[in-house]
């Protein structure tokens, strides 16, 4: 951790690795949609998984988030935000689709 | 009987930068909630096309791919700028920052063309609930990118005028967090909006 | 493109006598304030010592000033509603419906956004940094910005009385009624921008407080040694950070609908107005916990100090607070049980709602057990606390009743609901912040408030509360809906008349607060707090002088236990002076926070009246201000050790003038004199 409060990264290697992985993880879902090679549900699941992995790649290689390198309070804040997003988005989808089902709105 | 003194006062201490880094991180978490709710609204309103055009009719896979490539590359080039900065290479860092701006501007240009085209064919945000949700989600991301580009210009100015001082470097680090965060949101956008919409 | 947008001469309130008088009173109020400042020759002081101050203590005091002024303004709304409903049986009363609707809207909006939020932000700002042994909050400049953004929001509500009208859509602003089709006028827009602008301030305040608590604690101040007030602030800040984005999204989308013709919540064209309600209450439920948790924190401090006993069950209080914070994100649907969800959805949220009552119950027992076997001192903050303990529980019980969907189907949007939430907010939030105001007033200003008038204020408030709101429970069970401008059920009128009497008694309570303040200022020399510790307190804010030095602590305290200051007093190290002082770094004053607030106000005004050129100009001005500040690396100044020494020496001289604990004359006082004679 340097004086600016962030981990210092002196080499471009993580960015190159991250870029490479991200490109692959982008190309796969785009290709699947372009070619319609797999059925819809399977494609959607692969898109979702690739997105999650790519987000982790961004967090690890671009933002240098790591269990040891990142301060604990930052990790806890991120975990808390993730939990809340699950509640809020999940709850919203549950409520709104339930209402849609019952009242066709 | 007196307590010993403590050297607890230093000008712009290391602690201050840690506080700013942490505070900015928390701000990004709150921004994540905003985007999460915009995504939730988009999904809820997917079918609310009010007889108007759907995503399949409006989106373009090529353009989405172009936007994605530009933004992803810009994240990498921002990283190159940050590395140059860490190695105290002022001119290289400025170069990569300018490349980042160009890539970001390219992204915005494509997006602007996309929005303008949709509005021209009567598929603007006032056409249906689905389109309101689309324009707001993607548009909010675009507004953030614009602010990021403005921020990069400000930092470039500060680097030119003040040099690579600690405050300037710390601001660039926070801006980097912001920029990478926006690319993460974009991954979600193409995964939730464009790809499923175009399938 | 019109320069004035849709602003015309007709926007002035000459269409009704009541509107015109409201406008006149508002203008008169603003002008009197300016006249008073001019009369006392205090413009330099006001501008250069207060408006531009980045000192958390001054910012806290200014927040509380906003809260007290808006309490009065919001109360006038309440008085008008009560008097209207008392007489409007089978007649129209004196308030036409459009007016009545504006009044209930502004009452709720003001009390929540511009009374309770500033009150808690003010107390937190004033006290929390001192409680953790810090010199200021983490981001003093942002603190100033947030204050002035809140003021901007309040300003928009106030100016709606003078130019244009306020919203008639309730403080929750449900579409489609609040949309452009049914409400094309300026009222809802005023409401939207007041809420959005102050909401940004609240989100950023949450960030500020959280970082301060995590990063700025004194050495030895571990999380589990923090006072309970700071713990509640900690959880409150988390709620502020994560809940306000939902409000920004809900109101932002409504603003997009209204301003740009989008269809998030419109009747046709694919709008889904139920999503507004979902998003609004995603914010709204955590919001009520944002309002109450700091009040719980105040009660914890007050009950321990005035029972002269250590707080009972510290860990359970902390865990209960954290549990409340977490659970507050899981209950929001109970605000719209009747919207039509299926039984499973309603049941889940109903169960979660009953569960969230449990940790609050734990806290009530902890407070009662703190009092048990204590030596109680019945000063006004303690009166408010005891009043809270009895009355709030009743409100909680009515809440558990409402948590059951079938019951809620009968009682939703009746006056039963009104009674329930006022039964939480008045004894909970308001009594808590009034207790905090009276408890910490000496710390802020260096002299104590008049206790007799404080006690009378309490009695008027609590008696007035019961008389005003218990009839509303009965009326709700009798089927009376909320927000009725007139009615034709004879059986209701008696209860409404009683409720109006209660409102009048509350008015007397407010008068007592005013008298208390005036008399206390007049008599301040007889009630000076020379030690900084008027109540024989337990936490670190009592270690500083009253009022504290700009830097709070010349030497950061070394904390060894919970109740850090009490522990220092017991060990005899509370008032030691160091051999040497060091230079201290403090933030310079800055007008940029007020500038941003002012630009925010004008921006909101411009958006309301469709003056797009002005809105863009204000955004540019704000951006410029931010860039200027972000490019400024010379924002602090150094206070030399010699100046620090001067201030500390003066403090020690004052301490010498008051060698015994000031509470020692109180009946029931059981504590030790806590000051050692300075050498």
pLDDT tens readout for residues A37-53: 999 999 999 999 999 99
Q: Are C211 and B23 in contact (CB < 8 Å)?
A: yes
Read off the pLDDT band of C14 (50, 70, 90). Answer: confident
Q: Is residue B146 scored above 50 in pLDDT? A: yes
Task: Name the strand (E) or helix (H) holding C636.
Answer: strand C636-639
CB C409 within 8 A of CB C338: yes
Nearest CA in chain B to C245: B34
* CA-based nearest distance B1→chain A, Å: 37
3-class SS at C663? helix
Q: How far apart are CA B10 and CA B6, in angstroms?
A: 11
Q: What is the CATH number of the domain that holds C411?
A: 1.20.210.10
Q: Which helix (H) or strand (E) holds C140?
A: helix C140-159
Which of B32, B79, B187 lies nearest to residue A12, judging by beta carbons?
B79
Q: Predicted confidence band at C663 (pLDDT cuts at 50, 70, 90)? A: confident
Q: How far is CA C350 from CA C198, C339, C345, in A?
A: 31, 14, 9
pLDDT over threshold 70, residue B175: yes
Residue C410 CB: number of other CB atoms within 10 A? 13
> DSSP 3-state assignment of B182?
helix
Distances (CA, A) of C337 to A94, C344, C415: 14, 11, 17
- Would the pLDDT of C197 be above 90? yes
Whether B86 has its CB under 8 Å from any CB of chain A: the answer is yes
Rounded CA-CA distance C483/C172 in Å is 13
Q: Enumerate the β-bridge partners of residue C238.
A: none
Cβ distance of A55 and B187 shorter than 8 Å: yes
Please tell me which of the candidates B32, B41, B196 has its beta carbon nearest to residue A85: B32
At residue B3, does pLDDT exceed 60? no
pLDDT of residue B4 exceeding 70: no
Closest CB from A84, A92, A101 relative to C278: A92
A-chain residues near C272 (CB < 8 A):
96, 105
| Beta-carbon separation of B23 and C139 below 8 A | yes
Domain boundaries, position C116: 42-590+635-657
Residues in chain B: 199
The string of pLDDT tens digits covering residues C375-420 is: 999 999 999 999 999 999 999 999 999 999 999 999 999 999 999 9
Cβ neighbours of C261 in B, within 8 Å: 125-126
3-state SS assignment for residue C487:
strand
| Range of weakest confidence among C112-116, C359-363, C368-372, C531-535 | C531-535
- C587 strand-pairing partners: C636
pLDDT band (50, 70, 90) for residue C247 = very high
* Measured distance CA(C559)–CA(C562) in Å, rounded: 8
CA distance B26 to A75: 11
CA–CA separation, B20 vs B23, rounded Å? Answer: 5
Are the C-beta atoms of residues C99 and C15 closer than 8 Å to each other? no
Tokens 């507050």 locate to C328
- Number of H-type helices and E-type strands within chain A: 3, 0
Q: Name the B residues in 76-115 with CB < 8 Å from any C CB.
A: none
Element (H, E) at C201: helix C187-215
Q: Do A91 and C332 touch (CB under 8 A)?
A: yes
Is C624 inside any structural domain? no
- Residues A11-15 have a mean pLDDT of 94
Looking at the 3D structure of chain C, how many domains does it have? 1
Residues 6+ apart with CB under 8 A from C89: C486, C487, C488, C489, C490, C492, C493, C496
Count of all residues that appear for chain A in the document:
105
What's the pLDDT at C673?
55
Taking alpha carbons only, the member of C482, C468, C344 closest to residue C412 is: C482
pLDDT tens, C487-543? Answer: 999 999 999 999 999 999 999 999 999 999 999 999 999 999 989 999 999 999 999
Three-class DSSP category at A104: coil
Name the residue in chain B with its Cα closest to that of A25: B187
- Give yes or no for residue C325 having a pLDDT over 90: yes
CA distance A78 to chain C (A): 12
pLDDT of residue C677: 41
In a domain, C628, yes or no: no
For C353-378, letters b (16+ CB in 10 Å) and e give beebeebbebbbebbebbbeebeebe
**Mean local confidence (pLDDT), C72-93:** 96
> From CA C440, how far away is CA C436, in angstroms rounded?
6
Which residues sit opposite C249 in a β-bridge? none
Q: What is the pLDDT of residue C537?
A: 93
Contacts of C264 in chain A (CB under 8 A): none
A81 touches chain C (CB under 8 A): yes
A–C interface: beta-carbon pairs under 8 A: 43
Q: How far apart are the first and last CA of chain B?
A: 79
Element (H, E) at C143: helix C140-159
| C-chain residues near B126 (CB < 8 A) | 260-263
Residue-wise pLDDT tens digits, C595-607: 999 999 999 999 9
Percent of chain C, pLDDT > 70? Answer: 98
Separation of alpha carbons C566 and C557, rounded Å: 13
Mean pLDDT along residues B184-188: 98
CA angle C101, C103, C109 (to 5 degrees): 105
Using the Cβ of C580 and the Cβ atoms of chain B, whether some distance falls under 8 Å is answered with: yes
- Partner B, chain C 109-168, Cβ-Cβ below 8 Å: 138-139
Instruction: Determine contact, residues C168/C183, Cβ cutoff 8 Å.
Output: yes
Q: Between A and B, how many CB-CB pairs are < 8 A?
A: 134
Question: Distance (Å, rounded) from C-alpha C599 to C-alpha C620?
Answer: 9
DSSP state of C272: -
pLDDT, average across residues C272-279 = 97
Q: Is C238 within 8 Å of chain A by CB?
A: yes
- Residue of chain B whose alpha carbon sits nearest to that of A99: B44
pLDDT of residue C655: 86
Name every residue whose Cβ is closer than 8 Å to that of residue A44 and which is 6 or more positions away in sequence.
B196, B199
Our CA angle for C554, C556, C559, nearest 5°, is 145
Average pLDDT, rounded, for chain C: 95
CA A87 → CA C131, C239, C244, C283, C328, distances in Å?
A: 33, 14, 15, 13, 11
Look at residue C285 and tell me whether its pLDDT is greater than 70: yes
Nearest alpha carbon to residue C104 among C77, C84, C73, C69 = C77
Please report whether residue C673 resides in a domain: no
Q: Name the DSSP class of C549.
A: P
Nearest CA-CA distance, residue C104 and chain A, Å: 29
Contacts of C608 (CB under 8 A, 6+ apart): C156, C164, C186, C189, C190, C193
Q: Give residue B80's pLDDT band: very low, low, confident or very high (50, 70, 90).
A: very high
Alpha-carbon distances of A50 from A16, A60, B41, rounded to whole Å: 19, 15, 22
In a domain, C210, yes or no: yes
**Structure confidence at residue A4 (pLDDT):** 61
Contact B180 A63 (CB under 8 A): yes
Q: Average of pLDDT values for C151-167?
A: 96
The answer to whether B52 and A104 are in contact (CB under 8 A) is no
DSSP state of C481: B
Mean of the pLDDT values across residues B4-16? 54
Residue linked to tokens 């889904």: C272
Helix (H) or strand (E) holding C416: helix C415-424
Q: Smallest Cβ distance to A84: which of C214, C242, C339?
A: C242
The answer to whether residues C450 and C516 touch, using CB atoms and an 8 Å cutoff, is yes
What is the model's pTM? 0.96
Query: If you average pLDDT over residues C253-271, what whole number do you get?
Result: 96
Q: Is C9 on the interface with B (CB under 8 A)?
A: no
Alpha-carbon Rg for chain A in angstroms: 19
What separation, in Å, do the N-terminal and C-terminal C-alpha atoms of chain A show? 52
Q: Which residues of C touch B18 (CB under 8 A)?
A: 215
* Contact predicate C370/C328, CB 8 Å: no
Q: How far is B103 from chain C (nearest CA, A)?
A: 23
pLDDT band at B6 (very low <50, low <70, confident <90, very high): very low
The pLDDT tens digits of the residues spanning C100-155 come to: 999 999 999 999 999 999 999 999 999 999 999 999 999 999 999 999 999 999 99
The pLDDT value given to residue C665? 72
pLDDT at res. C659: 62
Taking a C-beta distance cutoff of 8 angstroms, is the pair C198, C154 a contact?
yes
- C330 CB near a chain A CB, below 8 Å? yes
Integer CA distances (angstroms), C298 to B12, C304, C409, C454, in order: 33, 10, 35, 17
Quote the DSSP letter at residue C448: P
Q: How confident is the model at residue C314 (pLDDT cuts 50, 70, 90)?
A: very high
Mean predicted confidence (pLDDT) in A98-105: 86
CB under 8 Å to C636, separation ≥6 — which residues?
B11, B12, C585, C586, C587, C588
| Interface touch B184/A4, C-beta < 8 Å | no
Closest chain C residue to B156 measured between Cα atoms?
Answer: C631
In whole angstroms, give the CA distance from residue C549 to residue C559: 20
Q: Does A104 touch chain C (CB under 8 A)?
A: no
- The answer to whether residue C672 is domain-embedded is no
Contact B94, B159 (CB under 8 A): yes
pLDDT exceeds cutoff 90 at A19? yes
d(CA B164, CA B85): 8
Quick one: tokens of A16?
A: 């190159």
Q: Cα–Cα distances in Å, from B135 out to A25, B41, B139, B186, C610? A: 26, 12, 5, 14, 21
- What one-character-per-residue DSSP string does C381-409 give? HHHHHHHHHHHHHHHHHHHHHHTSHHHHH
For chain A, what is the largest distance between any 2 Cα atoms, rounded to a whole number of angstroms?
A: 58
């Amino acid at each position: 951790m340097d004086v600016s409060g962030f981990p210092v990264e002196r080499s471009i290697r993580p960015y190159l690795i991250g870029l490479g992985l991200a490109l692959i993880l982008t190309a796969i879902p785009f290709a699947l949609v372009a070619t319609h090679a797999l059925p819809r549900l399977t494609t959607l699941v692969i898109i979702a998984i690739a997105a999650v992995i790519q987000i982790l790649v961004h967090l690890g290689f671009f933002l240098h988030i790591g269990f040891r390198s990142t301060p604990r309070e930052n990790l806890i804040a991120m975990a808390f935000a993730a939990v809340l997003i699950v509640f809020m988005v999940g709850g919203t989808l549950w409520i709104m689709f339930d209402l849609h089902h019952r009242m066709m709105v | 009987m007196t307590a010993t003194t403590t050297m607890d006062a230093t000008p712009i201490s290391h602690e201050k930068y840690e506080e700013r880094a942490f505070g900015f991180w928390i701000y990004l978490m709150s921004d994540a909630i905003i985007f999460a709710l915009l995504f939730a609204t988009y999904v809820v309103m997917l079918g609310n096309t009010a007889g108007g055009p759907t995503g399949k009719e409006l989106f373009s896979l090529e353009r989405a791919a172009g936007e994605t490539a530009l933004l992803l590359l810009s994240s990498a080039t921002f990283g190159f700028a940050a590395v140059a900065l860490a190695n105290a290479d002022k001119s290289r860092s400025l170069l990569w920052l300018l490349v980042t701006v160009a890539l970001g501007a390219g992204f915005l240009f494509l997006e602007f063309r996309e929005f303008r085209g949709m509005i021209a064919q009567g598929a603007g945000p006032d056409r249906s609930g689905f389109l309101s949700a689309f324009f707001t989600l993607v548009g909010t991301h675009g507004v953030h990118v614009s602010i990021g580009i403005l921020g990069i210009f400000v930092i470039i100015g500060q680097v030119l005028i003040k040099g690579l001082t600690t405050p300037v470097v710390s601001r660039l680090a926070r801006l980097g967090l912001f920029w990478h965060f926006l690319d993460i949101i974009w991954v979600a956008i193409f995964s939730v909006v464009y790809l499923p919409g175009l399938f | 493109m019109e320069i004035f947008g849709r602003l015309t001469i007709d926007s002035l309130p000459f269409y009704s006598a009541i509107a015109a008088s409201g406008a006149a009173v508002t203008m008169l109020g603003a002008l009197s304030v300016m006249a008073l400042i001019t009369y006392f020759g205090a413009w330099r002081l006001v501008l250069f010592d207060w408006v531009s101050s980045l000192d958390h203590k001054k910012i806290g005091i200014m927040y509380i000033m906003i809260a007290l002024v808006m309490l009065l303004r919001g109360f006038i709304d309440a008085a008008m509603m009560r008097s209207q409903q008392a007489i409007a049986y089978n007649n129209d009363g004196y308030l036409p419906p459009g007016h009545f609707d504006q009044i209930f809207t502004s009452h709720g909006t003001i009390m929540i956004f511009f009374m309770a939020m500033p009150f808690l932000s003010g107390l937190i700002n004033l006290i929390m940094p001192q409680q953790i042994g810090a010199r200021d909050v983490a981001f003093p400049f942002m603190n100033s910005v947030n204050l002035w953004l809140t003021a901007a929001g309040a300003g928009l509500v106030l100016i709606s009385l003078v130019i244009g009208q306020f919203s008639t859509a309730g403080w929750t602003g449900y579409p489609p009624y609040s949309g452009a089709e049914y409400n094309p006028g300026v009222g809802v827009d005023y409401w939207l921008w007041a809420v959005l602008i102050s909401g940004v301030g609240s989100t950023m305040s949450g960030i500020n407080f959280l970082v301060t608590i995590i990063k700025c604690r004194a050495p030895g101040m571990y999380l589990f040694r923090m006072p309970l007030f700071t713990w509640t602030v900690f959880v409150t800040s988390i709620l502020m950070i994560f809940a306000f984005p939902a409000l920004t999204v809900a109101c932002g989308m409504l603003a997009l609908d209204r301003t740009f013709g989008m269809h998030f919540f419109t009747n046709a064209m694919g709008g889904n107005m139920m999503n507004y309600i979902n998003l609004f209450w995603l914010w709204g439920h955590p919001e009520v916990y944002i309002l109450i948790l700091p009040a719980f924190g105040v009660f914890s401090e007050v009950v321990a100090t005035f029972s002269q006993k250590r707080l009972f069950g510290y860990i359970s209080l902390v865990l209960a607070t954290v549990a409340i914070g977490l659970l507050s994100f899981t209950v929001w649907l109970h605000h719209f049980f009747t919207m039509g969800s299926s039984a499973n959805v309603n049941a889940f949220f109903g169960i979660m709602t009953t569960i969230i009552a449990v940790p609050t119950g734990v806290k009530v027992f902890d407070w009662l057990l703190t009092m048990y076997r204590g030596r109680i001192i019945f000063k006004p903050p303690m009166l408010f606390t005891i009043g809270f303990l009895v009355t709030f529980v009743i409100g909680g019980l009515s809440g558990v009743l409402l948590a059951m969907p079938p019951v809620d189907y009968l009682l939703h949007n009746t006056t039963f609901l009104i009674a329930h939430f006022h039964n939480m907010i008045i004894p909970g939030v308001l009594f808590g912040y009034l207790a905090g105001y009276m408890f910490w007033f000496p710390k802020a200003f260096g002299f104590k408030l008049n206790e007799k008038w404080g006690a009378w204020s309490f009695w008027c408030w609590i008696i007035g509360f019961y008389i005003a709101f218990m009839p509303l429970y009965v009326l709700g069970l009798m089927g009376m809906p909320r927000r009725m401008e007139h009615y034709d059920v004879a059986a209701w009128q008696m209860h409404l008349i009683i409720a109006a009497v209660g409102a009048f008694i509350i008015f007397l309570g407010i008068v007592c607060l005013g008298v208390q303040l005036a008399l206390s200022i007049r008599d301040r020399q007889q009630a000076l707090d020379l030690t900084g510790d008027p109540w024989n307190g337990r936490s670190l804010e009592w270690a500083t002088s009253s009022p504290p030095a700009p830097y709070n602590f010349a030497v950061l305290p070394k904390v060894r236990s919970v109740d850090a200051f009490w522990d220092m007093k017991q060990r005899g190290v509370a008032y030691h002076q160091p051999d040497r002082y060091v230079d201290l770094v403090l933030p310079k004053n800055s007008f940029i926070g007020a500038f941003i607030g002012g630009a925010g106000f004008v921006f909101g005004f411009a958006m309301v009246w469709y003056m797009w050129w002005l809105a863009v100009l204000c955004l540019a001005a704000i951006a410029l201000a931010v860039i200027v500040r972000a490019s400024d690396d010379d924002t602090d100044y150094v206070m030399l050790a010699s100046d620090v020494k001067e201030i500390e020496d003066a403090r020690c001289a004052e301490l010498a003038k008051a060698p015994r604990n000031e509470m020692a004359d109180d009946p029931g006082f059981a504590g030790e004199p806590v000051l050692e004679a300075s050498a």
